[in-house]
Structure 1
Amino acid sequence: MDSSLEQITEQGVGLLIYYGMSLLGAIVIFILGRMLAGWAQNTTKKFLERTGKIDQTICDFLSNCARYVILIFTFIMVLSQFGVETTSLIAIFGAAGLAIGLALQGTLSNVAAGVMLLIFRPFKVGDYVEAAGVAGTVKSITLFVTELATPDNVQILSPNASVWGATVKNYSHHSTRRVDFVVGIDYSDNIDKAMETLHAAINADARVLKDPAPMVVVGNLGDNSVDLTVRVWCNAGDYWGLKFDLTKAFKEKLDAAGISIPFPQRTVHLVKAEG
């Protein structure tokens, strides 16, 4: 009886020591894994920020990815300390990841597109762009959507996959822009005088750049008017103000010079039938 009790006691102590060492090893692995994950996150973030070319959002995203990858491996190693078959567990994680990836392929494509937008930076916050069939000022670029605001301050949320897969027009990318006008004058008016009048209105506005030089030419002989094409350059921020003001100035200057801006008209000939 005593020998049986001693044997059970020895087995219990052995199991206690075995599982105690396993538990201790699991705790050590967990602590070291947490420390390593934090170190990897901070190191990755600092390295990416030092480059100065990567958006803060993607810096945070990639540093968090590094942290979670190490935490996953730490979790698997902790389970292996307790005799859990990690090979089958990894297979289960892989299958689950594949299933989740297939179910969320649209969302993942937006994440991938968001990463590409943040890396290559075809536009930045504050730019006025046209993409995926919509136009507006960029308010934010996240990993899932790009937020725009229209000129009348309507919010537009475009999926990143749609933005990245479409042609992007960035009206704010260059520091200067060209403003185009078409001004029609009557066929009976003096073309040279009209062109001089338009040049006078252009030269009176300080926002018009001297280089490239403004251009006023005869662009078309229309049905009702001689169309003068006007092209001037300005700083990108002055585009709309200059366009509105010069349109008004052209009308006032031409009126003062006695040059008319014709409107569409038709001449109708009535033929009286004989008999």
Structure 2
Amino acid sequence: MSFDPHKSPPRPELFDFHGVSMTHYFTDNWENIQNVQARPDDILIATYPKAGTTWVSYILDLLYLGETERQKDVPIYDRVAFLDIFIPSVLSGTDMVDNLATSPRIIKTHFPVQFIPKTFWEQNCRVVYVARNAKDNVVSYFHFDRMNQVEPEPGDWSNYLHRFMAGKVVYGSWHNHVNGWWKKKQTYAKLHYMFYEDLAEDTGREIDKLCCFLGLSRSDEVKKRVTDGVHFDNMKKDDMANYSTNPVMDFKISPFMRKGKVGDWKNHFSAAQSEQFDEDYKKKMMDVTLQFRSEI
């Protein structure tokens, strides 16, 4: 991946794409994305951005492929293909998917459920969806947008928070995203819906659930190794997991892996912002069966 941050193009602009705020980096390859060929053993990781994507990618990579040399010299973003991305002459998500040599192929997406290529449903692929409470999610997304050259300029925190509530960030409304995937879970048996907060509270327990969903029998020793390996502090120090080798990200502004905590939103929201956010949340989260925790 060659991308020179010193000559980087201007930050992209948001536009409405089939009712969802997007940028050209995630829509320019649309036809190829929709025509991608899924395989029955593919595993799709779906998340709203900054909801634990890399965490779950790393867990699945370790569960399936174990600790191999790849862990030491191939970054996680080359081991798990990012379907959506397209940077001309640099990176194509569909090419990454087609070139994955692993079996199963582990593929990630941030698309809302209605954008997923039909082939994944037709092939009855397993899907792991990870959701994170909205307040921590917006804080993490704000810091991510500050340091990522292929994201629109975030502006200041207060402005960003209002745009997030209005769904005017890349991949659109958080509320629509988590609700849309939750609804899909009710009709599609091979969808495992996980919560970031559960993973933070007891990683081992959630890995057990994942193994059960995926039909994997792994020894307690292997599962313990995976649990230890994906501890936030270990991943943050691991250059193959922490995106420090990714040229579109400016770590001088903020690290890709910042805190990984539940409840960090309290350090960003004012009391008035929190109250306004909660009011807006109540209107948009009509499905009471989908419950989040903003602290543990």
The TM-score normalised by the length of structure 1 is 0.18
Structure having the higher Rg: 1
Looking at secondary structure, tell me which structure has more strand per residue: 1
The TM-score normalised by the length of structure 2 is 0.17
Larger relative contact order (Cα-Cα within 8 Å, sequence gap ≥ 6) = 2
